[in-house]
Structure 1
């Protein structure tokens, strides 16, 4: 016989005790929607991104980077659209005040 004793295992935790906090390992769906939506409809990307960050903070899911990327892309796209509208208005006002009119004297 050998003098070695079998390996001892730690005692089992008490009933009803979970040794590790339950944490979801999946990616937040709204974070994915925020990233995709930022390219298609930027306002949806921004809204879903903010909601996703709130859910991720509360539940501990993955996808924080996706939500932030959706927010950044959405905000940049919205700013670009607003800038283009402002430029179009300025160009339109400048063209109309430059003397181009359909009235002839």
Structure 2
């Protein structure tokens, strides 16, 4: 009777996370919103083609960048509206 040695299964390679997805998230947190949105969109496209991880990171970068951009625009509009409605401010 022969004894068989237990076989070891090959360890699957760890799934890579898309670098642009990580960069998109970090850049959106730092406040570079337009760049974060663009990099997030590129990352999603790459993830779709390559099957890498990072879809959630890319989406988070896009969402945070878009929300920050919209809030920034609203803040500017409110500031201009307040400045325009205040007659005591002179610009000469």
The TM-score range, normalised by the shorter chain, is 0.7 to 0.9
TM-score, normalised with respect to structure 1: 0.69
Greater relative contact order (Cα 8 A, min sep 6): structure 1 or 2?
2
Q: Aligned-pair distance for 1:24?
A: 7.9
Match of 1:71 in 2: 62
TM-score, normalised with respect to structure 2: 0.78
Unaligned runs of 5+ residues in structure 1 are 7-22
Is the 1:49–1:70 Cα contact (8 Å) retained in structure 2?
A: yes
What is the root-mean-square deviation in Å for CA atoms of aligned residues? Answer: 2.3
Structure with larger Rg = 1
Structure with a larger share of its residues in helix: 2
Give deviations 1:49-91, integer Å, cap 9, x for gaps: 0000000001100000000000000000000100000001110
**In 2, Cα distance between equivalents of 1:31 and 1:80:** 22
Runs of 4+ in 1 over 2 A off after TM superposition: none
